[in-house]
Amino acid sequence: MRLLDDTESFEATSPKAKTTGFWTAKRTAVAVGLSLPVLALSIYLQIGTPDALNPVAMANANDHQMKEMVEKLAARLKDNPNDQKGWVMLARSYKAMGRFEEAKQAFDNAGDIINSDPDLLIDHADLLGVLAGNNLQGKPQQMIEEALRLNPEHPMSLMMAGVAAYQRSDYQKAVTYWEKLLSLLQPGSTDAQQVQANID
């Protein structure tokens, strides 16, 4: 799966517009790449383990089916509130459904499992940014910094760190993050072109 969603338009010429579009594209990618595959949710409900999650195995399900499985997971977690991986799964499911406040609560219930995983830190930071009106300052920025401490070459972390720097008018820092991200991408790829457009 590509890092970014190539359907996002980057026709705007102002840096602010491009940065906003960049983060929007990233959020689309998070929804696709980090949200819970319906098949994995179904397996988890049956055998109680999220380890079967496979980003490639995205199953087709209508909204009713997805909602039904998510509600079953939520009910299951009421009886097993210490299931951290289950809470993460529920949080990502709610986020993919646009139920952001419920996603935040589920992430909070997941506890410290999030703090050692860059993917989870970034997913949570992204959610908090959405709830703050696309603002990554404060807690989201702290999570991004921690994700980069755990993995200095984590692509999503570098992208969001650049956006956070841009939002606080630290443009050189933003470019530094994005140039590092660019070095990790395949030259000439759509992702690389989008990152370069932000730098330009």
What is the tens place of the pLDDT at every residue in 186-198? 888 888 888 888 8
Q: What is the CATH number of domain 35-109?
A: 1.25.40
Residue-level pLDDT at 84 = 94
Please, what is the average pLDDT of the chain? 75
- pTM above 0.85? no
Residue-level pLDDT at 200 = 81
Locate the domains of the chain by residue range: 1-33+117-200, 35-109
What is the tens place of the pLDDT at every residue in 51-104? 433 333 334 456 777 788 888 889 999 999 999 999 998 998 888 888 999 999
Residue-level pLDDT at 35 = 39
Q: What is the CATH number of domain 1-33+117-200?
A: 1.25.40.10
- 3-class SS letters over the chain: CCCCCCCCCCCCCCHHHHHHHHHHHHHHHHHHHCCCCHHHHHHHHHHCCHHHCCCCCCCCCCHHHHHHHHHHHHHHHHHCCCCHHHHHHHHHHHHHCCCHHHHHHHHHHHHHHHHHCHHHHHHHHHHHHHHCCCCCCCHHHHHHHHHHHHCCCCHHHHHHHHHHHHHCCCHHHHHHHHHHHHHHCCCCCHHHHHHHHHHC
Q: Do domains 1-33+117-200 and 35-109 have the same CATH topology?
A: yes
What is the tens place of the pLDDT at every residue in 6-29? 323 323 333 343 444 445 445 444
Work out the average pLDDT over 137-142: 95
